[in-house]
Amino acid sequence: MKVGVLQFPGTCDEVDALLAAERAVGAGNAELLWHRDRDLKGVDAIVVPGGFSYGDYLRAGAIAALSPAMESVAAFARDGGPVLGICNGFQVLCEAGLLPGTMLMNPSRRFNFRQVELEVVVADTAWTRAARPGQRLSIPAKHQTGRWYAPDALLQEVRANDQVVFTYAQDDRPNGSTANVAGVTNAGRNVVGLMPHPEHATDPLTGSADGLVLFRSPLEAAGVA
Partner 1 sequence: MSPDPVPAVVPAPRDLAADATPIGDAPGIEQARALGLTDAEYALVTEKLGREPVQVELAMFSLMWSEHCAYKHSKKLLVTLPTEGPAMVLGPGENAGAVDVGDGWTVAFKVESHNHPSAVEPFQGAATGVGGILRDIFALGARPIAVLDALRFGDVDATDENGDPTPGAVRSRFLLDGAVRGIGHYGNSIGVPNIGGDVYFEDPYETNCLVNAMALGLLRRERLTLSAATGVGNVVVLFGASTGADGIGGASVLASAELGDDDADKRPTVQVGDPFEESKLVECTLELLERELLVSVQDLGAAGLTSSASEMASKGEVGLDLDVALVPRRQSGLEPFEVMVSESQERMLCIVTPERLDEVIAITDKWDVHGTAIGVVTDTRRFRVFDGDDLVGDMPVPALVDDCPLYDIFPEKPAGGPASIYPAPQARLARDASSTDALLALLSSANIADRRPLFEQYDPVVQSRTVKRPGEAAAAVLQVPGPAGRRAVVGGLAGPTDVAAESDPDRAIPGVGVSIDGSGRRVAADPYAGTLWNVLECASNLACVGAEPLGLTNNLNFGNPEKPHIAWQLTESVRGLGDGCRAVGAPVVGGNVSLYNEGTTGPIFPTPVVGIVGKVPDVRRAVGTGFVRDGDVVARVGAFVPQLGLSEIARLEGRDLPDGLPDWNVDRIVEGIVAVREAVRAGSLSSATDIAEGGLLVALAEAAIAGGRGARVTVEPADGDDPERTALFGEAPGGFVVTGSRDALAALAESVPVAILGEVGGDRLTVDAAGETIDVSLGDLADAHGALARHFG
Any idea which residues carry the catalytic annotation? 87, 197, 199
| 176 sits near partner 1 (criterion: CB under 8 A) | no
| 205 sits near partner 1 (criterion: CB under 8 A) | yes
Nearer to partner 1, 22 or 220 (CB): 22
Nearer to partner 1, 11 or 178 (CB): 11
Of positions 113, 133, 156, 173, contacts partner 1 by CB under 8 A: 113
Of positions 129, 147, 189, 200, contacts partner 1 by CB under 8 A: 200
Smallest gap from Cβ 126 to partner 1, in A, equals 22
* Widest distance between CA atoms in the chain: 44
Of positions 2, 15, 74, 138, contacts partner 1 by CB under 8 A: 15
Of positions 42, 110, 153, 223, contacts partner 1 by CB under 8 A: 110
Q: How many helices (H) and strands (E) does the chain have?
A: 5, 11
| 27 sits near partner 1 (criterion: CB under 8 A) | yes
| 112 sits near partner 1 (criterion: CB under 8 A) | yes
Rounded distance between C-alpha atoms, residue 128 and residue 214, angstroms? 5
Cα 98 from chain centroid (whole Å)? 12
Number of residues that bind partner 1 (CB under 8 A): 35
Rounded distance between C-alpha atoms, residue 163 and residue 154, angstroms? 11
Q: Cα 109–211–4 angle (5° rounding)?
A: 90
- Closest-CA residue to 76 (of 126, 29, 122): 126
Q: How are strands ordered across the β-sheet holding 181-185?
A: 30-34, 3-7, 45-48, 83-86, 191-194, 181-185, 164-168, 112-120, 136-143
Q: State the first-to-last Cα distance of the chain, in angstroms, to the nearest integer.
A: 11
Find the radius of gyration of the CA atoms of the chain: 16
Nearer to partner 1, 103 or 191 (CB): 103
* Binding span for partner 1 by CB under 8 A among 92-100, 153-161, 162-170, 200-208: 200-208
Kindly list the residues in this chain that would bind partner 1 in the complex (CB under 8 A).
Answer: 7, 9-16, 18-19, 22-23, 27-28, 32, 51-52, 54-57, 110-114, 140, 142, 197, 200, 203, 205-207
